[in-house]
Structure 1
Amino acid sequence: MEKAKIIKRYQNRKLYDTDASCYVTLDEIAEMIQQGEEVTVVDNRNQKDITAATLTQIIFEKQKRSEAPIPISTLRHIIQQGDGSFSSFLSKSGDGNQLDLIQTLESQVKDLSVKLSDLEQKAGMVPGKEAHAAKTAEV
């Protein structure tokens, strides 16, 4: 099993990748995770594991930029379920494996997108007008 990459968070809120010996951004940490890397974020002052809070912050920042944010009703429901944590919400909403299901579905969609792109390239189609015309003809 691969050792988790350690990211230190300093009091000035800067994040430091101890393996690469450089500062990183929240977006770069998100990319690491999307590439399958294990990441642990620790507070440099007290060595407390703050990974969950940092990942929540990444989700928050992505939601601010998203055109399809999480519905307000869902966010209200998470808060109403108790302590306001997403993990608490998932465990109380019946099936604690919903997050795994979502991650699996997202992964499958990404894989299918790559396969579709490969097929379009093999067929000599360039995504754009030709691909759109073919998709429209199928409908």
Structure 2
Amino acid sequence: MTSKKAPGAAKPAQRVIKKYPNRRLYDTETSTYITLAEVKQLVMENHPFVVRDAKTNEDLTRSILLQIILEEEAGGAPMFSEAALANIIRFYGHAMQGFMGTYLEKNVQAFTDLQTQMAEQSKGLTPEMWAQFAAVPVPGVAGNYMEQSKRMFETMQEQMQKNTEQMLGAFGLKK
């Protein structure tokens, strides 16, 4: 019996977590109440899940994920600076909001892929080999990530320029 999945094979079942009005989270798979820390663990272990309001069945997954991020940010070792958070807020309602979300998502995914690839390639390396590896610039994978990030940023700049020109044109102003 092989462990390979055929194309189009069903994904693992999505775990359903219900959120009750008392703010408690109930894992329907284990029939137990769970904490945000346990939801975070599901994320860390790549378990597919959805959080639903127990009364309305509304999808609350994003709000729970944002709550986990908020707790992590308040926990003493924030990932985002105030300036980065302020810049993200400025994109809400802006013509580039959709592009910025895609830009961030693709860059985080590229970074995650890079991290996974490096972890796979580093299996079996001794501390001495790591020291040698760290001393040598790695143009391949890291270079590809930087180039992709640069291209996406340039595309974003071009799109912003086009949007600005269109806006100015709409007001009868030319650049």
TM-score after normalising by structure 2: 0.57
Unaligned runs of 5+ in 2: 1-10, 136-175
Q: Secondary structure at the match of 2:22?
A: coil
CA-atom RMSD in angstroms: 3.0
Tell me, in whole angstroms, the C-alpha distance in 1 between the residues paired with 2:116 and 2:14: 21
The 5 A counterparts of 1:53-92 are 53-83=63-93, 89=97, 91-92=99-100
Tell me, in whole angstroms, the C-alpha distance in 2 between the residues paired with 1:89 and 1:22: 38
Deviating above 4 A after TM superposition, structure 1's stretches of 4 or more consecutive aligned residues are: none
Paired-residue identity, %:
25
Residue 5 (structure 1) aligned with residue 6 (structure 2): no
CA offset at residue 17 of structure 1? 0.4
Unaligned runs of 5+ in 1: 121-130
1:32 corresponds, among 42, 50, 64, to 42
CA offset at residue 90 of structure 1? 6.8
Counterpart of 2:110, as a letter, is: L
Alignment check: 8 A CA contact 2:73 2:80 kept:
yes
Q: Secondary structure at the match of 1:97?
A: helix
Q: Secondary structure at the match of 1:57?
A: helix
Alignment check: 8 A CA contact 1:41 1:50 kept:
yes
Q: Which residue of 2 aligns with 1:42?
A: 52
Report Cα offsets for 1:6-46 as digits up to 9, x if no partner: 00000010001000000111111111111111010001110
Alignment check: 8 A CA contact 1:16 1:24 kept:
yes
Alignment check: 8 A CA contact 1:90 1:99 kept:
no
Alignment check: 8 A CA contact 2:27 2:34 kept:
yes
Q: Secondary structure at the match of 2:33?
A: strand
Closer, same or farther: CA 75–11 of 1 in aligned 2, 3 Å: same
**Aligned length in residues:** 121
TM-score after normalising by structure 1: 0.70
Larger radius of gyration: 2
Residue 102 (structure 1) aligned with residue 111 (structure 2): yes
Report Cα offsets for 1:46-100 as digits up to 9, x if no partner: 000010111111111111114243111110011101249xxx8573277351231
